[in-house]
């Protein structure tokens, strides 16, 4: 079978296409999956692009979707022919206490899904949404579940709420779609007027170009008659957090899910305290969150936005396109 291996020295030059022995037959409690698709996330890019990020060679990619080829003894949840999709934190089945590191995350702490076949414990995957392609299903593992947890699980999203989404990456577009499907108002930001036109087509009620309006937090306040957004899906980190605090209403919810602008920076703590806001860091979600999200996707009819797809042997090209920032929604990997 074919797979991509990221050599230990790291960096995109260290990605190697290999032809290796097939995945083993599943043992008790395991399934063997023919992987057909993955999708790119910022976490995958960090793992692959930073020299020295890993101490050992690793098969990259945390997302994987495909078909069950064989089941081991004792597996009753899945059968041969079922479409399944991976889970970001395989050991986090349910409950509020999620992992605080990536030691069990595919493509980081353990080998990921940039390969044609994989044998894993059955609880490492869930069923895919009914009627979805493998490429579509591969988008839910990281980006989709993150948006679901930010707005629904932790945010308690209700019809009539106002949601602010930053940028047009996979998490933000999923958050926009979820918010609209659940009866919320959405204000979206981007540095591209062309992309802002596209988010309006997806249902955004108001848009802001943050390059031409650097005080976009105040603009969100203005657009909400001074009240602010009930939820802010914060993907930028240090360079955007102050504006997100301004944008959120008093006692509002800010879901900190990304660090696109850096790993650390100043936080206007006095303003955060005075406005009594809830700033919550989160990383994806549990297996139960993903199962509930799949049900919600089938009920609402939401389908993911995939900008373009790359073949397995051009994973480097996919990462380079991701780094350019030109994509809208998700980037797929066909395997």
The reply to whether 81 and 163 lie within a common domain is no
The reply to whether 94 and 210 lie within a common domain is no
> Can you say how many angstroms the Cα of residue 117 is from the centroid of all Cα atoms in its chain?
23
Structural domain includes residue 149: no
The reply to whether 20 and 87 lie within a common domain is yes
- The domain boundary, picked from 242, 266, 281, lies at 281
**How much is the pLDDT for 31?**
98
- The domain boundary, picked from 281, 301, 317, lies at 281
Q: Which residues of 219-239 are buried (b: 16+ CB within 10 A; e: fewer)?
A: bbbebbeeebbbbbbbbbbee
Confidence class for position 273, pLDDT limits 50, 70, 90: confident
Secondary element (H or E) of residue 226: none
Confidence class for position 265, pLDDT limits 50, 70, 90: low
Tell me the C-alpha to C-alpha distance, in Å, between residue 122 and each of 72, 106, 134, 139. 9, 14, 18, 20
Structural domain includes residue 150: no
The reply to whether 192 and 239 lie within a common domain is yes
What are the pLDDT digits (tens) for 4-41? 999 999 999 999 999 999 999 999 999 999 999 999 99
The reply to whether 329 and 229 lie within a common domain is no
Please give the tally of structural domains in the chain.
2
Contact call for residues 67 and 84 (beta carbons, < 8 A)? yes
Tell me the C-alpha to C-alpha distance, in Å, between residue 179 and each of 51, 123, 139, 147, 296. 38, 29, 17, 10, 12
Confidence class for position 262, pLDDT limits 50, 70, 90: low
Closest CA to 125 of 80, 44, 74, 68: 68
Higher pLDDT pick, 146 / 272: 146
Closest CA to 65 of 41, 82, 51: 82
Structural domain includes residue 148: no
**How much is the pLDDT for 266?**
74
- The domain boundary, picked from 250, 265, 281, lies at 281
Structural domain includes residue 245: yes
| Lowest-confidence segment of 94-98, 119-123, 307-311 by average pLDDT | 94-98
For the purposes of burial, counting CB atoms within 10 Å of the CB of 125, is it exposed (0-12), middle (13-18) or buried (19 or more)?
buried
Mean pLDDT of the chain: 94
Report the share of the chain in percent with pLDDT over 70: 98
DSSP string, 51-73: TTS-SS-B---S--EEEEEEE-T
The CATH number given to whatever domain includes residue 210 is 3.40.50.720
Q: Kindly state the average pLDDT of the residues 235-263.
A: 84
The reply to whether 6 and 122 lie within a common domain is yes
pLDDT at 1 over 70: yes
The reply to whether 274 and 320 lie within a common domain is no
The reply to whether 244 and 166 lie within a common domain is yes
Structural domain includes residue 52: yes
φ, ψ at 72 (rounded to 5°): -90, 175
Confidence class for position 255, pLDDT limits 50, 70, 90: very high
Taking the C-alpha atoms of residue 184 and residue 77, their distance in angstroms, rounded to an integer, is 35
pLDDT at 309 over 90: yes
Domain range for 201 is 155-281
| Lowest-confidence segment of 62-71, 107-116, 216-225, 237-246 by average pLDDT | 237-246
**How much is the pLDDT for 94?**
96
Taking the C-alpha atoms of residue 73 and residue 162, their distance in angstroms, rounded to an integer, is 48
Taking the C-alpha atoms of residue 209 and residue 305, their distance in angstroms, rounded to an integer, is 21
φ, ψ at 139 (rounded to 5°): -85, -10
Structural domain includes residue 147: no
Neighbouring residues of 233: CB distance < 8 A, sequence distance ≥ 6: 147, 150, 151, 163, 164, 165, 166, 171, 172, 175, 255, 257
**How much is the pLDDT for 240?**
84
The CATH number given to whatever domain includes residue 97 is 3.90.180.10
The reply to whether 271 and 290 lie within a common domain is no
φ, ψ at 287 (rounded to 5°): -60, -40
Closest CA to 45 of 216, 197, 170: 170
What are the pLDDT digits (tens) for 176-199? 999 999 999 999 999 999 999 999
The reply to whether 277 and 163 lie within a common domain is yes
The reply to whether 250 and 298 lie within a common domain is no
The reply to whether 265 and 307 lie within a common domain is no
- The gap between the terminal CA atoms of the chain, to the nearest Å, is 11
């Amino acid at each position: 079978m074919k797979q991509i291996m990221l050599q230990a020295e790291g960096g995109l030059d260290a990605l190697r296409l290999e032809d290796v022995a097939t995945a083993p037959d599943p043992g008790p409690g395991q399934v063997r999956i023919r992987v057909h698709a993955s999708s790119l996330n910022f976490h995958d890019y960090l793992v692959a692009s930073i020299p020295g990020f890993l101490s050992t060679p690793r098969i990259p990619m945390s997302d994987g979707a495909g078909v069950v080829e064989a089941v081991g003894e004792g597996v009753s949840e899945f059968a041969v022919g079922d479409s399944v999709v991976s889970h970001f934190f395989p050991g986090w089945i349910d409950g509020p206490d999620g992992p605080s590191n990536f030691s069990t995350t595919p493509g980081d702490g353990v080998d990921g899904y940039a390969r044609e076949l994989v044998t894993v414990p059955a609880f490492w995957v869930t069923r895919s949404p009914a009627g979805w392609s493998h490429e579509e299903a591969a988008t839910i593992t990281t980006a989709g579940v993150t948006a679901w947890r930010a707005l629904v699980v932790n945010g308690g999203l209700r019809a009539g709420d106002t949601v602010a989404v930053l940028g047009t990456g996979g998490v933000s577009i999923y958050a926009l779609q979820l918010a609209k499907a659940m009866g919320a108002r959405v204000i979206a930001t981007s540095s591209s007027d062309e992309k802002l036109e596209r988010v309006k087509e997806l249902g955004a009620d108001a848009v802001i170009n943050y390059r031409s309006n650097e005080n976009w937090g105040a603009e969100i306040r203005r657009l909400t008659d001074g009240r602010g957004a009930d939820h802010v899906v914060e993907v930028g980190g240090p360079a955007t957090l102050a504006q997100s605090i301004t944008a959120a209403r008093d006692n509002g919810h800010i879901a900190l899910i990304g660090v696109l602008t850096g790993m650390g920076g100043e936080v206007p703590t006095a303003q955060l305290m005075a406005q009594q806001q809830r700033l919550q860091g989160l990383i994806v979600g549990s297996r139960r969150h993903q199962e509930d999200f799949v049900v919600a996707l089938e009920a609402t009819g939401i389908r993911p936005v995939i900008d373009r797809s790359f073949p397995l042997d051009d994973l480097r090209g996919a990462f380079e396109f991701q780094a350019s920032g030109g994509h809208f929604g998700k980037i797929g990997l066909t395997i």
